[in-house]
Structure 1
Amino acid sequence: MKFYFMAGCLLFTTACSNIQEQNDTNDSATKTTLAAPLYDSIHDGLIQTNSVTPQQIVDYAETLIGIPYKYASANPQQGFDCSGFITYVFNHFNIEVPRSSVEFTNAYPEVPVDSAKEGDLILFTGTDSTEKAVGHMGIIVSNSNGSIVFIHSTSGKANGVTITPLNDYYKSRFVKIVSIFK
């Protein structure tokens, strides 16, 4: 059985709430087959990636370059927003991740910039400079001595899935880098 976060935060929040209620009973038998991996992944801070490698994630993400930006979409026929792009890439490998960018903020372990590697996720604030919450994200393609390059779906000049260096504009919006791979 596969669980998608395509419906957005409400579905994810409901799933987390149900899992917490199940966990509160302290009866592991009440965790469903579906809820147990999701529960474990949220609380371990890392997700089950099976045999999928960061290189496979990046290679697949790069096949989506040029798909246009579309707010609140995870559908390649219509376009992607930033988290819809991340969701689509990871779901392609049957890896479950949150649907909205803000949900990644504390879901996975932070890694220092100099230790960031291919397949890690880079988080940024949104374009509103008064808002400090995570509002944009991408997948790191490479990190050569702190010179990070990432792939993302942007509503900016590229208007879609593109590869971008961590330039001054994105450095000013940088929040952190997280790793989802065990």
Structure 2
Amino acid sequence: MKSITYILFACLILFSSFAKKENQKVIIKTTQSQIDRDSIIAFAKKHLGIRYAYASSNPQKGFDCSGFVSYVFSNFGKTLPRSSSGYKNIGKTLKPEDFKVGDILVFYGYKDKSVIGHVGIICEANGMQSKFIHASSGKAQQVTITALDTEHYTKRFYKCVDVLSE
């Protein structure tokens, strides 16, 4: 009789320890499903200075603009287009006063204003005076932070999208 009691007691302890772990997992999953915008930027900033490399999303080789954005967001479980043209019709389009850290800026091409040609992630939100982190094929030739209100980017601005609230 005592052995059955001990077995039942051991099973109860074992079951309750699994239940606690399961509850902890649920809490962790809930936290992870709500991507922290500041964490996205902190992770992106770890890649400042990595060289520009056309058609690459590999930090060892370098990044192009969409490769950088997709790489950063994939680290948080968010799959985004691998080509800048894929950003034309995704996300919720925002007004400048609604820009937030972690939103994606979408720009027309440098030479062709009829196609999407560049993307970046807002790292300091302040409407059209925001700053963004991106892999630049311009003078910088690396992952860098740029002000949106520079003439080069203001002229090419297409939209800003929120891909995290979807």
TM-score (norm 2): 0.76
What whole-Å deviation, never above 9, does each CA across 1:73-102 have from its counterpart, x for those lacking one?
000110000000001101112211111111
> Which residue, out of 95, 109, 115, partners 1:112?
95
What whole-Å deviation, never above 9, does each CA across 1:17-69 have from its counterpart, x for those lacking one?
xxxxxxxxxxxxxxxxxxxxxxxxxxxxxxxx712211111110000000000
Q: Would you say the 8 A contact 2:113–2:156 is kept in 1?
A: no
User: Within 5 Å, which residues of 2 pair with 1:70-109?
Assistant: 70-109=53-92
Q: Secondary structure of the equivalent of 1:147? A: coil
Query: What RMSD, in angstroms, separates the aligned Cα atoms of the two structures?
Result: 1.3
The answer to whether structure 1 residue 52 and structure 2 residue 40 are counterparts is: no
Q: Secondary structure of the equivalent of 1:114? A: helix
Using the TM superposition, give the Cα deviation of residue 142 of structure 1 relative to its aligned residue in structure 2, in angstroms.
1.2
Q: Secondary structure of the equivalent of 1:127? A: coil
**CA–CA distance in 2 between the matches of 1:82 and 1:168?**
19
State the partner residue of 1:140: 122
* Identity value in percent: 41
Using the TM superposition, give the Cα deviation of residue 109 of structure 1 relative to its aligned residue in structure 2, in angstroms.
1.1
State the partner residue of 2:17: none
**CA–CA distance in 2 between the matches of 1:100 and 1:108?**
15
Using the TM superposition, give the Cα deviation of residue 145 of structure 1 relative to its aligned residue in structure 2, in angstroms.
5.3
Do the aligned partners of residues 145 and 111 (structure 1) sit closer, same or farther apart at CA in structure 2, a change above 3 Å counting?
closer
**CA–CA distance in 2 between the matches of 1:97 and 1:145?**
23
The answer to whether structure 1 residue 162 and structure 2 residue 128 are counterparts is: no
**CA–CA distance in 2 between the matches of 1:144 and 1:155?**
24
TM-score (norm 1): 0.70
Q: Secondary structure of the equivalent of 1:117? A: coil
Structure 2 stretches lacking a partner, 5+ long: 1-31
Using the TM superposition, give the Cα deviation of residue 144 of structure 1 relative to its aligned residue in structure 2, in angstroms.
2.7
**CA–CA distance in 1 between the matches of 2:45 and 2:114?**
29
Q: Secondary structure of the equivalent of 2:132? A: strand
> Which residue, out of 154, 157, 163, partners 1:171?
154
Q: Which runs of 4+ in 1 moved over 4 A?
A: none
Using the TM superposition, give the Cα deviation of residue 131 of structure 1 relative to its aligned residue in structure 2, in angstroms.
3.5
Q: Secondary structure of the equivalent of 1:102? A: helix
Higher helix proportion (structure 1 or 2)? 2
**CA–CA distance in 1 between the matches of 2:125 and 2:113?**
27
Using the TM superposition, give the Cα deviation of residue 117 of structure 1 relative to its aligned residue in structure 2, in angstroms.
0.8
Using the TM superposition, give the Cα deviation of residue 126 of structure 1 relative to its aligned residue in structure 2, in angstroms.
1.5
